[in-house]
Structure 1
Amino acid sequence: MASPLDIAVTGLTAQTRRVEASASNVANVRSRGAMPDAAGAVPEGKPAAYQPVGVAQSEQRLGADAAGTRATFTPITPAYLAEYEPEADYADAQGMVAAPNVDLAREAVNQIAAGRAYAANIAVTRTADEMQKSLLDSKV
């Protein structure tokens, strides 16, 4: 059986990953690259667009019991949107470039939700610590 502290630590780690993914997406929102061909390959010598990532959370199990959460990075699809930028030296014949498919509003919501979930897991950690301290301080 997993302790509440162990479960809360997995939650803290998961929310850290969530913020890392969102921060990376926001930092690269203005990056552009060449449009990939039909096979998905970028022309040689041309920059590729940033691949935005999300985080998928799933339960982590310890035997038959739930033991927390696990967070894994997942690519956002479609990875890019076509934008008209004919002055870019990597633009295709139609003047299109690949821009990362990042929604700043969604990223703001992800960051707020991660902050709230992080705070909730900290509260669980503090409560578990207080309970353990109270148990150890009790007189028989």
Structure 2
Amino acid sequence: MKKYILLLLAITAIGLSSCKKEVLVPNDNGLPNKTYLRYIQPGDWRQDGNTLSVFLPLPDLDKATFENDEVALSISRLDNDLYDKLPLVDNARSYSYTYAVGGITLYLQNAADLSVPPTRPTDKSRVKIILITSSL
């Protein structure tokens, strides 16, 4: 009986000793993430071939931010209280983005057939841009 108890204690000790409590502290460099809201009117979309695009200038997207941090986008396509994370494919429409120093370009394509341009949005959209600060 003692052998079984010792075996159970040994297994428990090994199992508990391998557990490690890890505390993650966001932004330990003291810099906060930044959130920006941008609005896109239907007339803001520019057609280039079979793609619609809109450029969103963002002066805070400087060289250091570009090199060290992350840029995340969400879109509220009807400017309501519902955001979709990008990239997104919905209802045969594909939304994606690229970013460079100085701004972000949002793209809209026809997901079902890339040789056909997408239908231009008829509603105002709201875009949430988040610059996620990384600690090096």
Q: Quick check: which has more Rg, 1 or 2?
A: 2
Structure in which a larger fraction of residues adopt helix: 1
TM-score clears 0.5: no
Structure in which a larger fraction of residues adopt strand: 2
